[in-house]
């Protein structure tokens, strides 16, 4: 393989400056509308915004999305691996490079979807599925995860297109994924914001904006402090005794 064939990747490690935010929730809860509204607001503030999604945020991801959502039956483990493959490539080629530039990255679904849908929905085990995604992404977690919470029967009834493999998975499956999202959010309120997705679009957008504004104020302040940390000047070379005489 020549260097030309190497994909543009950014090495793992703490993302420089950028802020990574994910949106989660059941099908039909309104994630894409809220991402669009937040992206418009952030862009108006002069921020670079990258709005993306899983599965399907890359060219390879679009093929994986078609396979996992509209292809033949696959086993639960194959399904989990397809989502993890999509995520790994998405993080390496889209998310990390954008964070390294200082962008705000908004993703429609991330690792918590796998934990809820494959870990709990498909009963593969939340911890194992989480470990798989953490391995795939070299440990990248969002700074903020917005959970749009809604009764799945209401969300699924809002969908207009013919249902994909996951949307056809049944009421009990979707009830399990909702519970999984809520339990995960309750366990980490620093990362999660839970929003009642039955409220109006504008009310939800205002709640999300308030939380994002507070997060950005904190990260901007931390960046400003980092800029003030000056490298210590090199110690003066020891005066060579008698060298100047």
How many chain residues touch ligand TYD (CB under 6 A)? Answer: 15
Look at residues 91, 142, 88 and name the one whose alpha carbon lies nearest to residue 112: 142
- Nearest-approach distance from CB 28 to ligand TYD, in angstroms: 7
Q: Is 27 in the site for ligand TYD (CB under 6 A)?
A: yes
Q: Is 20 in the site for ligand TYD (CB under 6 A)?
A: no
Which of 89, 147, 167, 173 is in the footprint of ligand TYD by CB under 6 A?
Answer: 167
C-beta of 117 vs 192, nearer to ligand TYD: 117
User: Peptide bond preceding 55: is omega within 30 degrees of 0, i.e. cis?
Assistant: yes
Joined tokens for residue 92: 């390496």
First to last CA, the chain: 61
Query: Binding marks (x or -) toward ligand TYD, 193..222, rule CB under 6 A?
Result: ------------------------------
188/132 Cα distance (integer angstroms): 20
Q: Is 130 in the site for ligand TYD (CB under 6 A)?
A: no
Q: What is the DSSP letter of 92?
A: I
β-sheet bridge partners, residue 146: 23, 193
CA angle, 18 then 23 then 29, to 5°: 160
- Nearest-approach distance from CB 82 to ligand TYD, in angstroms: 9
Distance of CA 64 to the CA centre of its chain: 18
β-sheet bridge partners, residue 24: 147
Which single residue is written with the structure tokens 């990747």?
A: 9
- Residue 115 has a CB neighbour count (10 Å cut-off) of 25
Which single residue is written with the structure tokens 């991801």?
A: 61
C-beta of 90 vs 216, nearer to ligand TYD: 90
Query: Binding marks (x or -) toward ligand TYD, 79..118, rule CB under 6 A?
Result: ----x------------------------xx---xx--xx
Which single residue is written with the structure tokens 């020891």?
A: 238
Q: Is 57 in the site for ligand TYD (CB under 6 A)?
A: no
C-beta of 81 vs 215, nearer to ligand TYD: 81
- Nearest-approach distance from CB 119 to ligand TYD, in angstroms: 9
Q: Is 55 in the site for ligand TYD (CB under 6 A)?
A: yes
Q: What is the DSSP letter of 152?
A: H
Interacting positions 34-53 with ligand TYD (CB under 6 A): 53
C-beta of 18 vs 55, nearer to ligand TYD: 55
- Nearest-approach distance from CB 20 to ligand TYD, in angstroms: 15
Binding stretches for ligand TYD (CB under 6 A): 27, 53-55, 69, 83, 108-109, 113-114, 117-118, 164, 166-167
């Amino acid at each position: 393989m020549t260097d030309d064939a190497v994909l543009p990747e950014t090495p793992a490690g703490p993302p420089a400056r950028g802020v990574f935010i994910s949106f989660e929730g059941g099908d039909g809860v309104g994630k894409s509308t809220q991402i669009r509204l937040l992206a418009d607001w952030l862009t108006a503030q002069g921020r670079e915004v990258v709005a993306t999604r899983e599965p399907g945020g890359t060219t390879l991801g679009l093929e994986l999305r078609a396979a996992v959502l509209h292809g033949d039956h696959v086993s639960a483990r194959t399904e989990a691996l397809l989502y993890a493959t999509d995520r790994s490539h998405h993080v390496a080629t889209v998310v990390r490079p954008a964070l390294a530039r200082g962008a705000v990255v908004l993703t429609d679904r991330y690792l918590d979807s796998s934990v809820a849908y494959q870990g709990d929905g498909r009963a593969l085990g939340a911890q194992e599925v989480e470990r798989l995604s953490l391995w795939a992404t070299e440990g990248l977690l969002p700074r903020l995860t917005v959970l749009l919470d809604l009764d799945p029967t209401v969300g699924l009834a809002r969908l207009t297109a013919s249902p994909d493999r996951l949307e056809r998975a049944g009421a009990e499956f979707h009830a399990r994924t909702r519970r999984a999202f809520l339990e995960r959010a309750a366990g980490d309120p620093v990362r999660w914001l839970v929003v009642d997705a039955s409220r109006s679009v504008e009310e939800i957008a205002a709640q999300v904006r308030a939380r994002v504004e507070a997060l950005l104020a904190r990260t901007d302040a931390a960046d400003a402090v980092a800029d003030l940390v000056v490298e210590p000047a090199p110690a003066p070379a020891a005066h060579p005794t008698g060298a100047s005489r």
